[in-house]
């Protein structure tokens, strides 16, 4: 007969052996809600949990200020957060994200999309979304950023992001600056002022300075605005829902989305597993089933059907016409740009 104390010890060990891993088998994830987060859940979170048993708790609104407050106070409650290149580089400057080199395999990704502190997740574009009620087929419809600024030919209220990245680029393109000279121009005091003043000239026609990607879609659908700068995937989601929206693909600012691990993440190992999961070509190919953003690896394209490929910003024609956001420029000039843009929005 086994002594009672040994039985109790074995039982305790079994409990510890079962429960300890379970308590670690989770991670906390924050993104931007709406169709984008729905797509992440279906394409990546649910398959990841099914494959690994790791539960992913979701939250929204991972603004840099919130992340900084967590890191500064040592109260980090998010493991993985998402953002564009500008948000990534701003966070890197402030020491908010873990270095991923050697932890996450980015070898499948386009070289230009790789980053030491962010796992590239998708390619998306900022472009013009417009109301087909305001500008119906058969009549003049906006095609270029110059058309977005032309309120005489294309009347109606506008919606713009409440942050300057991609807006300053669009403003200079609208003002006639060639795509290959946009960042050279922005790097000069005169060129930077030119971009800010171009946005300022449109300010009285801006009804919404949006902070959430769903807002310009809702504003177009309700008729509150006639035209908006926003993300192609969000506009496509509105179109799929039957909203009277179309997109102008002639000029776009292409961006790479990133997933980052917050410094001091409480579930670091689970977060690393999650990022490696989303980088695989198979996982990348699934994302475009739910939102019209392109994969970060060319190896995923053959796994995507032709109908979906036609909705993506990564077709050869669209990539050729796109201006890719220079996140190095934003890393250097982002703070000044944000300050000037915020002052402009506030009428200063």
Burial 275-290 (b: 16+ CB within 10 A, else e): bbbbbebebbbbbbeb
User: Both 250 and 134 in a single domain?
Assistant: yes
- pLDDT, tens digit (0-9, with 9 covering 90-100), for 99-147: 999 999 999 898 888 999 999 999 999 999 999 999 999 999 999 999 9
Number of domains in the chain: 2
**All residues at 6 or more sequence positions from 281 whose CB lies less than 8 Å from its CB, including other chains:** 108, 295, 297, 299, 300, 303
User: Both 134 and 265 in a single domain?
Assistant: no
**All residues at 6 or more sequence positions from 166 whose CB lies less than 8 Å from its CB, including other chains:** 126, 229, 253, 255, 325
Q: Residues in the chain, how many?
A: 348
User: Both 271 and 338 in a single domain?
Assistant: no
User: Both 115 and 169 in a single domain?
Assistant: no
Q: How far apart are CA 7 and CA 134, in angstroms?
A: 77
Mean pLDDT of 152-156: 98
User: Both 232 and 208 in a single domain?
Assistant: yes
- pLDDT, tens digit (0-9, with 9 covering 90-100), for 219-234: 999 999 999 999 998 9
User: Both 185 and 136 in a single domain?
Assistant: yes
Give the sign of the dihedral formed by CA 69, CA 71, CA 72, CA 74. Answer: positive
Domain span holding position 235? 124-255+322-345
User: Both 221 and 272 in a single domain?
Assistant: no
Complete DSSP assignment for 33-50: -HHHHHHHIIIIIHHHHH
Taking the model in full, what pTM does it have?
0.76
Mean pLDDT of the chain: 91
User: Both 203 and 109 in a single domain?
Assistant: no
Amino acid 21: pLDDT: 40
User: Both 215 and 267 in a single domain?
Assistant: no
User: Both 203 and 220 in a single domain?
Assistant: yes
Give, in order, the Cα–Cα distances in Å from 251 to each of 63, 64, 165, 196: 28, 29, 16, 19
For position 194, which CATH number holds?
A: 3.40.190.10
User: Both 39 and 110 in a single domain?
Assistant: yes
Amino acid 13: pLDDT: 43
pLDDT category of residue 15 using cuts at 50, 70 and 90: very low
User: Both 179 and 326 in a single domain?
Assistant: yes
For a pLDDT cut of 70, what percent of the chain falls above it?
93
Amino acid 257: pLDDT: 94
Better-scored residue on pLDDT, 23 or 90: 90
């Amino acid at each position: 007969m086994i002594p009672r104390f040994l039985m109790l010890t074995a039982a305790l060990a079994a409990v510890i052996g079962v429960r300890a891993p379970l308590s670690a088998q989770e991670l906390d994830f924050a993104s931007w809600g709406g169709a984008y987060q729905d797509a992440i859940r279906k394409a990546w979170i649910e398959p990841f949990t099914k494959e690994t048993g790791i539960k992913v708790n979701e939250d929204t609104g991972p603004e840099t200020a919130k992340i900084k407050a967590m890191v500064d106070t040592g109260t980090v409650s998010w493991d993985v957060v998402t953002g564009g290149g500008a948000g990534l580089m701003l966070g890197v400057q402030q020491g908010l994200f873990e270095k991923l080199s050697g932890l996450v395999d980015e070898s499948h990704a386009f070289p230009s999309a790789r980053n030491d502190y962010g796992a590239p997740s998708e390619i998306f574009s900022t472009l013009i979304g417009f109301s087909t009620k305001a500008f119906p087929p058969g009549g003049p419809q906006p095609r270029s950023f110059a058309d977005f600024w032309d309120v005489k030919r294309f009347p109606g209220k506008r919606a713009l992001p409440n942050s300057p990245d991609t807006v300053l680029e669009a403003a200079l393109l609208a003002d006639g600056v060639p795509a290959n000279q946009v960042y050279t121009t922005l790097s000069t005091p005169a060129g930077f002022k030119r971009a800010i003043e171009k946005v300022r000239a449109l300010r009285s026609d801006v009804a919404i300075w949006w902070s959430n990607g769903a807002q310009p879609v809702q504003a177009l659908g309700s008729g509150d605005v006639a035209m908006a700068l926003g993300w192609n995937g969000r506009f496509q989601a509105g179109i799929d829902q039957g909203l009277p929206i179309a997109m102008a693909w002639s000029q776009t600012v292409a961006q790479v989305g990133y997933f980052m691990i917050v410094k001091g993440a409480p579930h670091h190992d689970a977060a690393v597993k999650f990022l490696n999961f989303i980088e695989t070509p198979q996982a990348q190919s699934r994302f475009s089933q739910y939102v019209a953003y392109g994969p970060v690896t060319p190896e995923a394209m053959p796994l995507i059907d032709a109908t979906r490929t036609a909705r993506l910003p990564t077709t050869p024609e669209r990539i050729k016409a796109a201006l890719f956001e220079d996140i190095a420029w934003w890393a250097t000039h982002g703070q000044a740009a944000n300050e000037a843009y915020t002052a402009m929005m506030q009428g200063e």
